[in-house]
């Protein structure tokens, strides 16, 4: 049975991907320092699947620790989620972002190379498109970054391209996520942000569950149909499914490939709030405030390349994304605590 090592596997997207990998018959080794997650997520994945996970509480910057793990397990592929991901925080502590995201990834790649493991699927982001000139976005659009977090994604993509060009044993897949939301249908695992959520969906659901007073909508004067920002929200289970397909096809794809992971549909902030209210029957008080610096007006994916090459397409619609988010949030108002 083939073994996948998942860095950041206790986190939001990592825990859902671990669940799908186990269901698809892979052995899973998770490496996570638990800086932004709880081991409880993996206990729940084990309970849901009836399968066990090998877990190491290890930092991806710990070379000796990683080397030992690769010596113990014959790892076929790595799915690399681990890293810091808050845009605002990255402006305040850029060195921490460069250290954990970039140095951490270089360290991981070196250990993989020494261990003879040459397959990596990496979590990139639509943030690498900066402020796109048009929508929908295809993978060949120009890339840029406006903050240290985005720069770490861009640099890591470049590092992986250089590595792939240096030795054709390397097989890499760069997955550029649009806006992941939703949760597993069981309501047992989901997104559990520490402190005040930065992202729209967890903020809306915390308002609905009574943990926050009201949502601040960042600007209603964008050049969009209702003036609020438009994004391509994608169900985390669809996103996770693309990782399973990427691992299954990475050898056949060869070299390095880049795929957008989105639904191809854009929804505004007001549409998200209205659909949430309709689907859950909860009230979501909100006020319009200033634009958030660095935000773009609209962004959605052309995901046809992933359909052609990975045989992947998103199947969950917005109502299901919201229903599943709400099941998780209402059953676990304090997350995994």
CB of 127 to ligand UDP, least distance (A): 7
Residue 144 gets which letter from DSSP? B
Q: How far is the CB of 290 from ligand UDP (least distance, A)?
A: 10
Residues that bind ligand NAD (CB under 6 A): 8, 10-14, 32-37, 59-61, 81-85, 100, 104, 123, 125, 177, 180
**Structure tokens given for 253:** 């794809």
Q: Smallest distance from the beta carbon of 162 to ligand UDP, in angstroms?
A: 27
In contact, 219 and 295? CB cutoff 8 Å: yes
Binding letters toward ligand UDP, positions 146-185, x by CB under 6 A: ---------------------------------x------
Measure the CA–CA gap between 189 and 328, rounded to whole angstroms.
7
Three-state SS for 76? coil
CA distances from 33 to 58, 60, 135, 204, 246 (A): 5, 8, 37, 28, 25
Phi, psi for 290 (deg, rounded to 5)? -55, 155
Among residues 56, 97, 129, 149, the one annotated as catalytic is: 149
Q: Quick check: is 222 catalytic?
A: no
| List 54, 67, 186, 198, residue binding ligand UDP (CB under 6 A) | 198
Smallest gap from residue 216 Cβ to ligand NAD (A) = 18
Dihedral angle, C-alpha 159, 165, 168, 169, nearest 10 °:
-10
The listed partner (ligand NAD, ligand UDP, none) that binds 18, CB under 5 to 8 Å by sort, is none
Binder of residue 125, out of ligand NAD, ligand UDP, none (CB less than 5 to 8 A by kind): ligand NAD
With beta carbons less than 8 A apart as the criterion, state whether 60 and 104 touch: yes
- The option from ligand NAD, ligand UDP, none interacting with 59 (CB < 5 to 8 A, set by class) reads ligand NAD
Q: Which residues are designated catalytic?
A: 149
């Amino acid at each position: 049975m083939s073994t996948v090592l998942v860095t950041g596997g206790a986190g939001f997207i990592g825990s859902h991907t671990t669940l799908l990998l186990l269901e698809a018959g892979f052995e899973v080794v998770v490496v996570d320092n638990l800086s932004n997650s709880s081991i409880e997520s993996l206990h729940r994945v084990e309970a849901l699947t009836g399968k066990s996970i090998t877990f190491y509480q290890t930092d991806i910057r710990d070379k000796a620790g990683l080397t030992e793990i690769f010596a113990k397990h014959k790892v076929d592929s790595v799915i690399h989620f681990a890293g810091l991901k808050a845009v605002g925080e990255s402006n305040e502590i850029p060195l921490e972002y460069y250290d954990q995201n970039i140095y951490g990834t270089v360290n991981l790649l070196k250990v993989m190379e020494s261990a003879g493991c040459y397959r990596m699927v990496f979590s990139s982001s639509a943030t690498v498109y900066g402020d796109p000139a048009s929508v929908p976005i295809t993978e060949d659009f120009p890339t840029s970054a406006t903050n240290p977090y985005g720069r770490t994604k861009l640099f890591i993509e470049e590092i992986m391209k250089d590595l792939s060009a240096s030795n054709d044993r390397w097989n890499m897949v760069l997955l550029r996520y649009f806006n992941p939301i939703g949760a597993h249908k069981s309501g047992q695992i989901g997104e559990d942000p520490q402190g005040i959520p930065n992202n729209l969906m967890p903020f809306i659901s915390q308002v609905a569950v009574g943990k926050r007073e009201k949502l601040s909508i960042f600007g209603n004067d964008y050049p969009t149909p209702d003036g609020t920002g438009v994004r391509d929200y994608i169900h985390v289970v669809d996103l996770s499914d693309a990782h399973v397909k990427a691992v299954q096809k990475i050898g056949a794809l060869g070299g390095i490939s880049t795929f957008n992971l989105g639904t191809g549909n854009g929804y505004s902030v007001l549409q998200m709030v209205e659909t949430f209210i309709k689907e859950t029957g909860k009230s979501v008080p909100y006020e319009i405030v200033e634009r958030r610096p660095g935000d773009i007006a609209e962004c959605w994916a052309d995901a046809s390349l992933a359909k052609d090459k990975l045989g992947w397409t998103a199947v969950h619609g917005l109502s299901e994304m919201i229903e599943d988010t709400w099941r998780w949030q209402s059953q676990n108002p304090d997350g995994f605590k």
